[in-house]
Amino acid sequence: MRTHRLPLILCFIALPIQVHAADAKSVEEALADIEAKAATIQTYSADVAMLMSMGSMSFGFDGKIRGKGEMYESTMAIDLFGQKMANRTVSGPDQIIWTEMDMMGEKMVTKATVGEMANALGEMAGGFGFSQLFTGTNTSPHPSALLKMYSESYDWADVEIRDLDGTRVYAFSGKSRDAGESEAETESDEEDFFMFAELMGGLGNMNIYVGEEDGFVRKVEMLNPSGMPIFTQTYSNITLNTPMDDSAFLYSPPDGVEVMDFAELSAGAGFDFGSGDSSADTSGYNTKFNVGDAAPEFEGVTSAGKPVKLSDYRGKVVLLDFWATWCGPCVAELPNVITAYNEFHSKGLEIVGISLDDDKAAFESFVRSHKGMDWIQIFDGKGWEAAIPALYGVDSIPLTLLLDKDGKIIAKDLRGDALNEAVAKALGEQ
């Protein structure tokens, strides 16, 4: 889900930093100011550098990023423990992520949806806030979303306004909420993102520097308890809100290079990142409810204004479909959902669509223009703040939950043929 650059030498130079005490704000005021300013960024480009240090070993990325709305491109030169590679990642308006890797003259191209990539990083990192970068209007890995991401796991002790390399920045300093856990507590949480930091000497403070004027992140530092840096990320040569042609975010695989599907590739390697296997346990990244849990009751209003409750469908097999018209992977999966409904509705399947759209006119126009969407759609116009997605802890879409006749979750994140197979099994058709 996220690709950035790492310098090849771990080097922190002590620069004179001027603190502007007269301009001091509370952490809450600073966060609100940054969020408002970052929201005005329509396009961006920057040089980016990252470095992770693991004892005597380090690996890093050097490159450039640019983005426009939900589209982005990154080009990176990678040093992975001495192995040199080149990487280009492109995500266009269809929310398909293309990754082209060049290693020792051999090219490899992978294709993934935003949802698959978000699930993959969430699975590997215990769900460490990656939804902030890869959901909704944040499908582009906007660097300023890093502050919101890290705020999920760090408590900011204070914030100051400083000069950093000639730029006035908010300087946040905080400590991980996991830093005080005992060794037993850390070992009991196998999905804890911060276990990687334990391998690098343990967790200490994190510092983030964000432009006061524009809300764009300049630097991230993660330190071990001794104050030594174990992870750094810097952005420089930043340009904001300049015209950018959409053609910059179009990608075609080179001739003769095989394109590998990310879901198939990860499954072949022994991982399941929400690729559509009905037996998969995605470990709660997309939702706080998993296979085997009872789906919580909810009440909503359909787009036609009719009240509806989940319990109205007790005794039926129910597919909860969290989606939105702006979600490329959701739209791509729609024909499979229509096929399942047409085949199994008369046999006891009900589908409840739960929209994360906020524009009712656009939503209704989409449904009318896509024949076969004959199931109910719950719509409250609040997007990611909608009540039912919030109740279920939905962090990325598309998300499907298949419920048995007693309202228990029996499968999740179903795609393609796996959807039909799971529904048929639930209805006793197999």
Question: At residue 326, does pLDDT exceed 70?
Answer: yes
The residue with tokens 């840096």 is 229
| Mean pLDDT in residue range 150-155 | 76
Average pLDDT (17-34) is: 71
pLDDT at 265: 56
Q: Which of 11-20, 75-84, 196-205, 246-255 has the lowest mean pLDDT?
A: 11-20
148: CATH: 2.50.20.10
Q: How far apart are CA 145 and CA 382, in angstroms?
A: 21
- Decide if 5 is inside a domain: no
- For residue 370, being part of any structural domain is answered with yes
To the question of pTM greater than 0.85 for the whole model, the response is: no
Which residue among 231, 261, 291 closes a domain?
261
Question: Mean pLDDT lowest for which of 79-88, 246-255, 268-277?
Answer: 268-277
Residues 296 and 225 in one domain: no
CA geometry: angle 300, 302, 304, nearest 5 deg:
150
Q: Which of 229, 261, 293 marks a domain boundary?
A: 261
Residue 143: the pLDDT is 74
Q: What is the DSSP letter of 345?
A: G
Residue 272 belongs to a domain: no
Please check the confidence at residue 406 and state whether its pLDDT lies above 70. Answer: yes
Domain that holds residue 50: 21-261
Q: Are residues 339 and 254 in the same domain?
A: no
pLDDT tens profile 206-220? 899 999 999 999 999
Binned at pLDDT 50, 70 and 90, residue 388 comes out as very high
**247 lies in the same domain as 130:** yes
- In-domain check, residue 266: no
| pLDDT tops 70 at residue 186 | no
Q: What is the pLDDT of residue 113?
A: 74
User: Both tokens of residue 175?
Assistant: 């400590």
pLDDT at 189 over 60: no
Q: How far is CA 283 from the centre of its chain?
A: 15
Look up residue 330 and give its amino acid. Answer: C
Domain assignment of residue 12, yes or no? no
More confident residue, 278 or 363: 363
Length of the chain: 430
Report the C-alpha gap between 235 and 141 in whole angstroms.
13
Do 299 and 178 reside in the same domain of the chain?
A: no
Same domain, 303 and 237: no
User: Amino acid identity of 295?
Assistant: A
CA-to-CA dists, residue 390 to 30, 85, 92, 296, 356, angstroms: 26, 41, 28, 12, 10
CA distances from 196 to 130, 183, 229 (A): 16, 14, 14
Residue type, 117: M
- Tell me how crowded residue 204 is: count the other CB atoms within 10 A of its CB: 19
The answer on 250 and 190 residing in a single domain is yes
Mean of pLDDT values over 340-345: 92
Domain boundary residue, one of 203, 228, 261: 261
CATH number at residue 414: 3.40.30.10
User: Does residue 359 have a pLDDT over 50?
Assistant: yes
What is the pLDDT averaged over residues 143-159? 78
**Domain count across the chain:** 2
pLDDT above 60: residue 127: no
Q: Is residue 203 part of a domain?
A: yes
Based on the fold, state whether residues 345 and 205 are members of the same structural domain.
Answer: no
Across the range 103-125, mean pLDDT stands at 66
Dump the DSSP string for 147-161: HHHHHTTEEEEEEEE
Mean pLDDT, range 188-206, rounded to an integer = 50
On whether both 324 and 251 belong to a single domain, the answer is no
Q: How far apart are the first and last CA of the chain?
A: 37
Same domain for 229 and 286, yes or no, is no
Same-domain pairing of 255 and 359: no
How far apart, in whole angstroms, are the C-alpha atoms of residue 129 and residue 126?
Answer: 9
Q: What is the mean pLDDT of the chain?
A: 76
- 349: pLDDT strictly greater than 90: yes
Assigned domain for 40 exists: yes
| Three-class SS state of 301 | strand
Give the other-Cβ count within 10 Å of 322's Cβ: 25
In this structure, are 295 and 225 located in the same domain? no
The confidence band for 35, taking pLDDT boundaries of 50, 70 and 90, is confident
**pLDDT above 60: residue 139:** no
pLDDT in tens, 57-92: 667 889 999 988 778 898 988 876 566 788 888 888
Co-location of 242 and 325 in the same domain:
no
Identify the residue with better confidence: 206 or 55: 206
Residue in the block written with tokens 């502007």: 20
Kindly state whether residue 15 falls inside one of the protein's structural domains. no
- Work out the percent of the chain whose per-residue pLDDT is above 70: 71
**Average confidence (pLDDT) over 251-264:** 80
Is residue 171 over pLDDT 90?
A: yes
- Considering 36-45, 72-81, 105-114, 178-187, the range whose residues carry the highest mean pLDDT is 36-45
| Average pLDDT estimate for 148-160 | 81
